[in-house]
Amino acid sequence: MNPIDILAKYYKPNSNAFNILVEHGRLISAKALAAAGKVNHLNPDLELIEKAAMLHDIGIFMTDSPGLGCYGSHPYIRHGLFGRYLLGGMGYSDLALICERHVGVGISVDDIKRQSLPLPRRNMLPVTIEEQIICYADKFYSKNGKAGVREKSVAEIMASLEPYGPDKIERFQEWVELFAD
């Protein structure tokens, strides 16, 4: 299975959205594989991580995100859920769960209820080491459709998580301790 071929089923090759996804996926892949190298003793599935890095945001085309070249009708927070449905429908259940669970640093059922998020009422928290690695790596790069993407610092990421509660900061800090250089 080639992730680029799967992306090309939903995105016109060389479109703005396709190019953003491919660039973002490559950045996440490099960061995620480096993180996986820090936890070899946990036997992360490197092939799964590479594929997930490229496909974790596949559902953005269904969202209203014109800055990314996506003109769907749904809020961006649902892109992980849509990715789960798309990849799950193709039989890629492990990739599907990574899509659903990578948003933020994971979303709990309590988060969904408390913030009235337009998501099913279930935990969408990263569980497997591969899910955690993708979620961690994804925090370092934004998809904003602008040239000159740069890696965010840990301090910037922590500050961006602050409004969502101390549990989010604590989860990310645990990943920093586990996966960082």
Note whether 93 and 80 are within 8 A (CB): no
Average pLDDT of the residues of the chain: 93
Q: How many CB atoms lie within 10 A of CB 128?
A: 16
**pLDDT band at residue 147 using 50, 70 and 90 as cut-offs:** low
Q: How many CB atoms lie within 10 A of CB 52?
A: 31
Q: Average of pLDDT values for 129-147?
A: 87
**pLDDT band at residue 181 using 50, 70 and 90 as cut-offs:** confident
Note whether 126 and 106 are within 8 A (CB): yes
Asked which of 38-42, 71-75, 146-150 is least confident by mean pLDDT, the reply is: 146-150
DSSP string, 107-144: B-HHHHHHTT-SS-SS-B---SHHHHHHHHHHTT----
- Domains of the chain with CATH codes: 3-179 (1.10.3210)
For the segment 60-116, what is each residue's pLDDT rounded down to a tens digit?
A: 999 999 988 899 999 999 999 999 999 999 999 999 999 999 999 999 999 999 999
DSSP string, 16-54: HHHHHHHHHHHHHHHHHHHHHHTTGGG---HHHHHHHHH
